[in-house]
């Protein structure tokens, strides 16, 4: 290593500069920037609709915001929600979520919400137009697959789904059973 006179050392092989003027801590780490706290996961699942994967083929997924009242958000933080009967429709250029049951928040008293009221989903116009055209032409349904917090916002993951026939459901269950048996056999050996 050679010294070039400007408080920097150069390694002749690598031709890279290493600053000698940065202060270091007793442990030898650079004390240039303060180390921040580690960030937690920014999204957490509130509820998922596992029955949707049994009843439908999920072709495409979309994430949308949802318009809620304060008591609904408080109930969602307690995971008091059911998605099994829920579905979405495009009505007058808006996507409306029907059938999602959010339990009433007990401490809200008079200012509580209606548990199964229709809720507006927040999406771009292009996405809404695409969904509307595909639902009309192909016979697809919009089914909520997952409800989750993204930072402080509640989001819903919608699936553009096509219904399964009964024989398709039985075939899927048979494949899962076979895969489970194979995994058990591999684990034993």
The pLDDT profile of the chain, 189 residues, written as one tens digit per residue, is 555 555 555 455 545 444 445 555 555 555 555 555 555 556 688 989 888 888 888 998 999 999 988 888 888 898 888 888 899 999 998 999 999 998 888 887 788 888 889 999 999 999 999 888 888 877 788 999 999 999 889 999 999 988 888 888 888 889 989 999 999 999 888
- The pTM of this model reads 0.66
Q: CA–CA separation, 131 vs 123, rounded Å?
A: 11
User: Residue 92: which domain range?
Assistant: 43-165
Is residue 182 in a domain? no
**CATH number of the domain within which 84 lies:** 2.40.280.10
Answer whether residue 157 is part of any domain.
yes
| 2 found inside a domain | no
Q: What's phi and psi for 126, nearest 5 deg?
A: -60, -45
β-pair type (141-150, 81-82): unpaired
32 located within any domain? no
Residue 43 exposure: Cα atoms within 13 Å on the Cβ side: 11
């Amino acid at each position: 290593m050679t010294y070039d006179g400007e408080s920097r050392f150069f390694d002749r092989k690598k031709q890279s500069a290493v600053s000698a003027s940065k202060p270091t801590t007793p442990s030898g780490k650079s004390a240039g920037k303060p180390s921040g706290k580690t960030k937690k996961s920014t999204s957490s699942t509130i509820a998922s609709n596992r029955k949707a994967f049994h009843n439908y083929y999920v072709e495409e997924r979309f994430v949308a915001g949802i318009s809620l009242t304060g008591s609904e958000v408080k109930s969602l933080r307690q995971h008091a929600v059911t998605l099994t009967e829920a579905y979405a429709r495009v009505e007058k250029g808006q996507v409306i979520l029907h059938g999602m049951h959010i339990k009433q928040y007990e401490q809200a008293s008079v200012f509580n919400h209606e548990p199964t009221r229709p809720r507006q989903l927040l999406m771009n116009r292009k996405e809404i137009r695409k969904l509307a055209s595909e639902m009309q032409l192909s016979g697809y349904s919009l089914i909520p697959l997952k409800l989750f917090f993204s930072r402080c916002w509640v989001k819903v993951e919608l699936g553009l789904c096509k219904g399964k026939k009964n024989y398709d459901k039985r075939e899927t269950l048979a494949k899962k059973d076979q895969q489970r048996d194979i995994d058990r056999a591999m684990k034993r050996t």
